[in-house]
Amino acid sequence: MVRFSQIAVFSFAGFLLAGCNLPEKDRPIWENVKIADLATPPRKNLDSGLLKTMNFEVYIIDIPAENIHTLDDIWLMLQTHPLHFSDYQSFRTNLFLAGFGQRRIRNTVADLLYAGRKNIEKVSLILSDGQADEFVITRLDRQTIFYYPSRDTMEGQTVGPGKLVLRIKAEKIPGSRGVCSVNILPVFLPPIRNSIPQLATPAISDEYIFASVGFGLRMSPGDFVFLAPEKYIDNQITVGGLFFRSGLSTKQKPFVRTYLIACNRIID
């Protein structure tokens, strides 16, 4: 399960120490293949998963909205061609941006994110091979979330009560050591209905997958994905507005929430 802990700035900076090289030239994102279905998979034999695990750390960083232009320098350093979108055009229409980086540019990215940052939180995930886990973006009462399932069509999906989560699924690639296939997707989950822990199971049939905002890639230890809004989203009940809204925001000084998802370790 997800374990939450606040981290100090020096902890995050230590994790992100490395040099800086410019990435290779990107090729058009829309040429990439689509991601797989990220519905929660059936449980596997626990013994088979103990020897094949993948450790990820997610850094949730709130930055002042007035500093969002500093993200432009980060996007210039990151690559897009390793990412495989479900639908690239609708991903952008929902105001999501994502980029891939490697260990050598982490400290440079960290320096830019630290400029005026207010809060840093770390979430650790340990995934068995082929399994998915989530961390909570925000909790919701019953309401309608608006989003673009395609580039030109906006729809409203009524959900709740429950929570909007980011689901991460990782699978080892047969014949490749130290590499895993990772899928990342926003999902709405209803509450667990049974109050008895031993019998509690999520109401899977009631979950809602925002497939148009999903993407996948291959990752090795040291690789990371940065996820942020294309622009500041002000109080919109959209999947992007909920995803990137910071709880620290005030009318005087709003903040934007960003996510750095790092692959730390793969045990084959």
Express each pLDDT in 30-64 by its tens digit: 344 333 334 444 444 444 444 589 999 999 999 88
* pLDDT computed for residue 225 by the predictor: 96
Compare 233 and 244 and report the one with higher pLDDT: 244
| Angle 249-255-256 from CA coordinates, rounded to 5° | 125
Helical ranges in the chain per DSSP H:
9-15, 46-50, 71-77, 88-93, 106-114, 239-244
* pLDDT computed for residue 135 by the predictor: 93
Contact assessment for residue 244 and residue 233, using Cβ atoms and an 8 Å cutoff: yes
| Tokens, residue 137 | 């973006």
Q: Output DSSP code: residue 193.
A: -
| Angle 46-47-48 from CA coordinates, rounded to 5° | 90
User: Can you say whether residue 130 is alpha, beta or left, with left for phi > 0 and alpha for psi between -120 and 50 degrees?
Assistant: left
**Does the pLDDT value for residue 166 go beyond 70?**
yes
Q: What is the pLDDT averaged over residues 62-86?
A: 91
Lowest mean pLDDT, pick from 6-10, 57-61, 86-90, 135-139: 6-10
Banded pLDDT at 249 (limits 50, 70, 90)? low
Banded pLDDT at 252 (limits 50, 70, 90)? low
Cα–Cα nearest to 12, from 72, 59, 74, 63: 59
**Does the pLDDT value for residue 21 go beyond 90?**
no
Amino acid at 107: N
Q: What is the pLDDT averaged over residues 149-153?
A: 86
Compare 221 and 66 and report the one with higher pLDDT: 221
CA atoms within 13 A on the CB side of 55: 12
